[in-house]
């Protein structure tokens, strides 16, 4: 190799690799805007709503956030990978119904139903992912189909097996105690009761963050969401990654479904409709782009927290209940605008 003439000159700093200050690095994080929004809303409700200030209220808000947040983790990862899952909301109900109906109808230990439900939830994820990858039809349409199919099946199968539209109460069956302890128990810190789902939520966020930032798979997820063709060209297993992401949503839907089942002992077959959008909203508020390739799991967690906090904050503030939805919309819009503003400021400075 001949020596390059440039190398002999005094090395000039390349403007492409110019150093960014640590502060700017922080400001450029996708979740920062959401964090600012979350703090803003927290301070706001802290100021206007007396009961909002208690630790009990914080526990309630965290619980509410966790029920959205657990699913938002999977949905955010999927969105970073460039796909949607509209069946995520009813898949939670499907999982809960499967576990409950299976163990009830066959009078088995509850845990048998739980594992059957896991298999079903993963199969739904696989089905979504496989169809999206094989047909190349946008996931929005494929999962819209599965959303409607599951919604119908939830009702029809429940009705067929039990003769009514809710699953039967399974709280007196073997194995319920342990499952209840894992999926739906409480614990106390400083006299305040917290739900176990909060812990699981944080665990899932931590795992997803580690997966995204520290593993090869994480790089694959960003790559397939950014540009699937280029990703394939450099050897990323695009099909496997995307199917895996759909199955990840399936897994979390199973988990959320088990929480639903063991909290209320029986499940209404019409539940979960509309939640798919709340999961997506949480991911987007948290900095995920609708176009894929960008976002974080922590951001989605903050998004879920903003949603949970706003929903409950309005109740704590005691505002006219007729206007709740309106206020919820205003708050979410404010959070999103703050998010955008912070990001624009950060990238300009």
Partner 1 sequence: MKNTRTSSALVALAAVAVLGLAACSGSGGKQEEEKASGGNNAAVADTPRVKIAMITHEAPGDTFWDLIRKGAEAAAAKDNVELIYSNDPQAPKQASLIQTAIDSDVDAIATTLSNPDALGPVVQKAVEAGIPVVEFNAGVDSWEDTGALMYFGQDETVAGQAVGERLNEEGAKNAMCVIQEQGQVQLEARCAGVEETFSGKTQKLYVNGRDMPSVGSNIEAKLAQDKTIDRVVTLGAPFALAAVQSVEGAGSSAQVVTFDTNADLVAAIEAGDVQWAIDQQPYLQGYEAIDSLWLYLTNGNIIGGGEAVLTGPSFIDQENIDTVAEYAKRGTR
**Contacts to partner 1 by CB under 8 A:** 49, 51, 54, 56-57, 60-61, 63-64, 67, 103-112, 115-116, 119, 151, 154-155, 158, 163-166, 168-175, 193, 259-260, 263-266, 268-275, 311-312, 315-318, 321-322, 324-325
Q: Residue 169 gets which letter from DSSP?
A: P
Quick one: 118 or 238, whose CB is closer to partner 1? 118
Question: Cα–Cα distance between 130 and 124 in angstroms, integer?
Answer: 10
Q: Residue 165 gets which letter from DSSP?
A: S
CB of 15 to partner 1, least distance (A): 47
Quick one: 159 or 214, whose CB is closer to partner 1? 159
* 8 A C-beta contact, residue 107 and residue 121: no
| 3-state SS class at 266 | coil
Question: Cα–Cα distance between 87 and 125 in angstroms, integer?
Answer: 9
CB of 228 to partner 1, least distance (A): 24
CB of 225 to partner 1, least distance (A): 27
Quick one: 145 or 226, whose CB is closer to partner 1? 145
Question: Cα–Cα distance between 221 and 198 in angstroms, integer?
Answer: 26
CB of 323 to partner 1, least distance (A): 10
CB of 168 to partner 1, least distance (A): 7
Quick one: 104 or 222, whose CB is closer to partner 1? 104
Cα dihedral 194/197/200/202 (nearest 10): -60
Quick one: 85 or 311, whose CB is closer to partner 1? 311
Quick one: 257 or 287, whose CB is closer to partner 1? 257
Strand duo 186-189 + 192-195: pairing: antiparallel
Question: Cα–Cα distance between 175 and 75 in angstroms, integer?
Answer: 30
CB of 167 to partner 1, least distance (A): 10
Quick one: 54 or 135, whose CB is closer to partner 1? 54
CB of 26 to partner 1, least distance (A): 32
Burial of 253 (0-12, 13-18, 19+ CB in 10 A): buried
Could you tell me which of 194, 5, 201 has the C-alpha nearest to residue 185?
A: 194
Two tokens, residue 4? 């390059």
Place of tokens 């956030």: 65
Q: What is the DSSP string of 13-34?
A: PPGGGPPPPHHHHHHTSTTHHH
């Amino acid at each position: 190799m001949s020596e390059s003439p440039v190398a002999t000159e005094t090395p000039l700093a390349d403007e492409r690799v110019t150093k960014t200050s640590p502060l700017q690095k922080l400001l450029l994080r996708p979740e920062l805007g959401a964090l600012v929004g979350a703090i803003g809303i927290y301070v706001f409700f802290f100021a206007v709503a007396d009961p909002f200030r208690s630790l009990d209220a914080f526990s309630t808000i965290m619980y509410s956030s966790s029920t959205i947040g657990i699913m938002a983790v999977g949905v955010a990862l999927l969105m970073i990978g460039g796909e949607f899952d509209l069946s995520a909301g009813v898949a939670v109900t499907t999982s809960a119904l499967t576990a409950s109906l299976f163990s009830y109808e066959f009078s088995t230990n509850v845990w048998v139903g739980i594992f059957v439900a896991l298999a079903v939830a993963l199969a739904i994820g696989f089905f979504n992912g496989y169809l999206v990858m094989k047909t190349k039809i946008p996931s929005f349409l494929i999962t819209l189909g599965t959303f409607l199919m599951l919604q119908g099946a939830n009702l029809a199968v429940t009705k067929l097996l039990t003769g009514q539209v809710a699953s039967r109460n399974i709280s007196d069956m073997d194995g319920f105690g342990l499952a209840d302890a894992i999926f739906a128990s409480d614990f106390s810190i400083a006299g305040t009761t917290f739900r176990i789902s909060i812990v699981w939520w944080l665990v899932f966020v931590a795992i997803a963050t580690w997966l995204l930032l520290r593993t090869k798979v994480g790089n694959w997820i960003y790559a397939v969401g950014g540009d699937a063709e280029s990703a394939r060209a450099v050897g990323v297993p695009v099909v496997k990654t995307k199917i895996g992401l759909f199955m990840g949503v399936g897994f979390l839907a199973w988990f959320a479904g088990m929480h639903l089942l063991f909290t209320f002992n029986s499940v209404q077959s019409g539940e979960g409709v509309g939640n798919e959008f709340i999961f997506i909203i949480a991911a987007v508020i948290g900095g995920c782009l609708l176009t894929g390739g960008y976002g974080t799991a922590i951001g989605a967690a903050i998004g879920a927290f903003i949603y949970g906090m706003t929903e409950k904050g309005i109740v704590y503030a005691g505002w006219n209940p007729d206007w709740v939805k309106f206020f919820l919309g205003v708050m979410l819009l404010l959070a999103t605008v703050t998010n955008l503003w912070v990001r624009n400021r950060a990238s300009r400075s």
